[in-house]
Amino acid sequence: MKRFTAQTADPQAIVHELLHGGGAVGISGLFTPEEIAEARAIVMEHSEEESEKVTHFQGAAADAGKLNLQRRVWNLLGKGEVFSRMAAHPVLMDILRAFLGTEFIMGSIAANRILPGGPGQEPHVDYPYWDFHKPETHPVGLNGSFPMNAQVSVLLDPFTEESGATGYVPGSQKELRYPTKADKFHENCEQMTGEPGDVALFYGVTWHCAMPNNADHDRSAILIQYLPKFVKPMEDMPAALPKSFVEEASPDIRQLLGLNYPYPEILDAAKAGNTEGRK
Ligand X SMILES: O=C(O)CCC(=O)C(=O)O
Check binding of 105 to ligand X (CB under 6 A): no
* Shortest distance (Å) from residue 217 CB to Fe ion: 22
Check binding of 157 to ligand X (CB under 6 A): no
Among 19, 44, 56, 80, binds ligand X (CB under 6 A): 56
* Shortest distance (Å) from residue 202 CB to Fe ion: 9
Contact of residue 56 among ligand X, Fe ion, none (CB under 5-8 Å per partner type): ligand X
Q: Which is nearer to ligand X, 88 or 211 (CB)?
A: 211
Residue in 230, 265, 259, 263 with CA at minimum distance from that of residue 101: 230
Check binding of 112 to ligand X (CB under 6 A): yes
* Shortest distance (Å) from residue 278 CB to Fe ion: 36
* Shortest distance (Å) from residue 135 CB to Fe ion: 18
Check binding of 2 to ligand X (CB under 6 A): no
| Torsion region of 159: left, alpha or beta (phi above 0 gives left; psi -120 to 50 gives alpha) | beta
Check binding of 157 to Fe ion (CB under 5 A): no
Check binding of 126 to ligand X (CB under 6 A): yes
* Shortest distance (Å) from residue 119 CB to ligand X: 12
Residue 34 has phi, psi (to 5 degrees) of -65, -40
Among 73, 221, 222, 227, binds ligand X (CB under 6 A): 221
Interface region with Fe ion, contact rule CB under 5 A, candidates 126-134, 153-161, 230-238, 269-277: 126-134
Check binding of 198 to ligand X (CB under 6 A): no
218 vs 176: CA distance, rounded Å: 32
Interface region with ligand X, contact rule CB under 6 A, candidates 18-26, 31-39, 208-216, 260-268: 208-216
Check binding of 126 to Fe ion (CB under 5 A): yes
Q: Which is nearer to Fe ion, 76 or 253 (CB)?
A: 76
97 vs 15: CA distance, rounded Å: 10
* Shortest distance (Å) from residue 221 CB to ligand X: 5
Interface region with ligand X, contact rule CB under 6 A, candidates 85-93, 180-188, 203-211, 258-266: 203-211
Q: Are 213 and 118 in contact, with CB atoms under 8 Å apart?
A: yes
* Shortest distance (Å) from residue 225 CB to ligand X: 8
Residues near ligand X (CB under 6 A) are 56-57, 112, 126, 166, 208-210, 221, 223
Residues near Fe ion (CB under 5 A) are 126
